[in-house]
């Protein structure tokens, strides 16, 4: 059931900042909850006071028909920056089920109902010159690409940007409180966004997720400019936007299985064939793959191929839910195809085979990167992951550490550590330092 359109209220004014005024928050069903401001104690580096308030301060529009969306799009394309968030579910579907899109700009907030209208016209905003400000954007980008056919042309991810200030994967709540001195109330975080009408609390929570993003971007951006790190962050935003968000190739779906790399011989072919069948059926029925066939059952079938319906019924973790609607027959056919799969068509998962002596180097390199991240006040996961280190230690080095700002910060040190030109030592004060090797060893 679609929510009715709720227009902008004229009985209150929107005002940014810790002293913002509040209105009664009216839900899509016409119900209302009081929105009251309370101040609490707290000392922050960037704010003297912590303000506890209902999320979604100020007026917002409910966009529930095509005409209202067209009007909103026409307005948004004229702004140089806008805040964006989505609410979606994927617990019981293959594809993420978009339930709400939140947008904010200077002086306004809009909540768009994708259950009532086609939201693809928002592509005009996304593809326009405006900067999309999003927090932890990766999943939002996947949802937007599916719903609108595109992603923003320009992006500022406040979570990634905060990582360059030393914040380790901070939540939006923590960032808003730490930087702006506002404590958002998050009571509706785990709500069902597909039910209509949405309550006043749900609407307030949703609006709050975008209400402060533009101000966050400004404050974080200023600090990044002061530290000379804005270009680093910009490179990361570009990488995120360019990432492949297409669906898994069915023939590669078996790579996600637990202990898939431990499978040997014919079990690999059966795993590839059955996992590909599961992936295709899950897409067709828009169900999570585990609803079609649990991982445990798939691995059991790969290691002990089933050839009859009776074999299937004896397979661990399989029951009638998984075998109805023609699934049993299709599954047996997939097993038979897997048993005949030749080496030339087997898709093996990528591996990073390091020789045993290099594993110690990887451990030392991880410690070195962690120390450098601490010294530079960076989120260690942004500087380098273990996979990045493995990629860099190949011949020739490749991956994210082989070029750009990461190479400038740690590339030369890692190269010298890996080739034995440098050693990693304690400095006597609890920190690690990279030093030129003396090539003198202790007599044990």
Give the Cα separation of 112 and 68 in Å (integer).
Answer: 9
| Domain ranges, ordered by start, for the chain | 25-242, 250-345, 356-436
DSSP state of 252: G
- What's the rounded mean pLDDT across residues 386-415? 89
pLDDT band at 428 (very low <50, low <70, confident <90, very high): confident
Give the Cα separation of 208 and 280 in Å (integer).
Answer: 38
Average pLDDT value over all residues in the chain:
84
- What's the rounded mean pLDDT across residues 13-38? 31
250-345 and 356-436 share one CATH topology? yes
Give the Cα separation of 416 and 434 in Å (integer).
Answer: 9
Contact 165, 230 (CB under 8 A): no
Give the Cα separation of 404 and 427 in Å (integer).
Answer: 29
- Could you tell me which residues come within 8 angstroms of residue 140 by beta carbon, excluding any fewer than 6 positions away? 84, 85, 86, 134
- Flag the least confident range among 102-111, 158-167, 198-207, 332-341: 198-207
30-60 b/e (C-beta count within 10 Å ≥ 16 → b): eeeeebeeeeeeeeeeebeebbebbbbbbbb
Give the Cα separation of 391 and 387 in Å (integer).
Answer: 6
Give the Cα separation of 210 and 221 in Å (integer).
Answer: 17
Two structure tokens written together for 13? 């004014």
pTM for the full model? 0.81
Tell me which fold the domain 250-345 belongs to: DNA polymerase; domain 1 (1.10.150)
From the list 17, 90, 34, the residue with the least C-alpha distance to 204 is 34
Two structure tokens written together for 205? 């929570």
Which tens digit of pLDDT belongs to each residue from 85-132? 999 998 899 999 999 999 999 989 999 999 999 999 999 999 999 999
Pairing of strands 32-33, 25-26: antiparallel
HEC states along 9-25?
Answer: CCCCCCCCCCCCCCCCE
Which tens digit of pLDDT belongs to each residue from 183-223? 886 665 678 999 999 998 899 889 999 999 999 999 999 99
H helices present in 355-433, as ranges = 356-376, 380-383, 386-392, 404-406, 412-419
Q: What dotted CATH number matches 25-242?
A: 3.30.420.10
Please identify, in words, the CATH class of the domain defined by 356-436: mainly alpha
């Amino acid at each position: 059931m679609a929510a009715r359109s709720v227009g902008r209220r004229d009985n209150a004014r929107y005002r940014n900042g810790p002293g913002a005024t509040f209105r009664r928050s009216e839900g899509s069903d016409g119900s209302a909850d009081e929105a009251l401001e309370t101040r609490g104690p707290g000392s922050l580096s960037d704010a003297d006071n912590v303000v506890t308030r209902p999320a979604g301060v100020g007026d917002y529009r409910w966009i529930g028909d095509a005409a209202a969306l067209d009007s909103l799009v026409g307005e948004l394309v004229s702004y140089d920056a806008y805040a964006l968030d989505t609410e979606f579910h994927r617990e019981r579907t293959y594809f993420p089920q978009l339930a709400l899109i939140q947008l904010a700009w200077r002086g306004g907030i809009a909540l768009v109902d994708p259950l009532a209208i086609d939201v693809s016209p928002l592509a005009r905003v996304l593809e326009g010159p405006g900067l999309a400000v999003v927090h932890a954007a990766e999943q939002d980008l996947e949802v937007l690409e599916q719903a609108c056919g595109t992603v923003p042309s320009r992006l500022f991810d406040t979570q990634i940007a905060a990582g360059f200030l030393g914040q380790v994967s901070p939540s939006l709540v923590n960032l808003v409180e730490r930087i702006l001195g506002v404590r958002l109330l998050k009571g509706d975080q785990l709500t069902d966004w597909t039910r209509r009408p949405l309550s006043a609390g749900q609407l307030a929570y949703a609006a709050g997720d975008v209400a402060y993003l533009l101000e966050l971007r400004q404050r974080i951006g200023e600090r990044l400019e002061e530290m000379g790190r804005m270009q680093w962050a910009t490179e990361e935003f570009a990488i995120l936007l360019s990432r492949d968000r297409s669906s898994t190739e069915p023939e590669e779906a078996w790579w996600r299985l637990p202990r898939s790399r431990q499978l040997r011989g014919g079990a690999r072919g059966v795993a590839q064939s059955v996992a590909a069948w599961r992936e295709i059926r899950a897409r067709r029925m828009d169900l999570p793959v585990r609803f079609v066939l649990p991982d445990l059952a798939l691995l059991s079938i790969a290691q002990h191929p089933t050839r009859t319906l009776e074999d299937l019924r004896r397979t661990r973790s399989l029951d009638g839910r998984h075998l109805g609607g023609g699934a049993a027959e299709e599954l047996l056919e997939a097993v038979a195809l897997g048993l005949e799969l030749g080496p030339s068509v087997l898709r093996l998962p990528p591996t990073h085979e390091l020789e045993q002596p290099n594993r110690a180097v990887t451990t030392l390199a991880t410690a070195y990167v962690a120390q450098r991240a601490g010294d530079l006040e960076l989120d260690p996961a942004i500087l380098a992951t273990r996979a990045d280190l493995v990629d860099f230690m190949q011949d020739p080095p490749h991956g994210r550490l082989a070029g750009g700002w990461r190479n400038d910060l740690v590339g030369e040190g890692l190269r010298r550590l890996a080739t034995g030109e440098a050693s990693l030592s304690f400095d006597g004060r609890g920190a690690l330092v990279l030093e030129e090797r003396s090539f003198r060893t202790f007599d044990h």
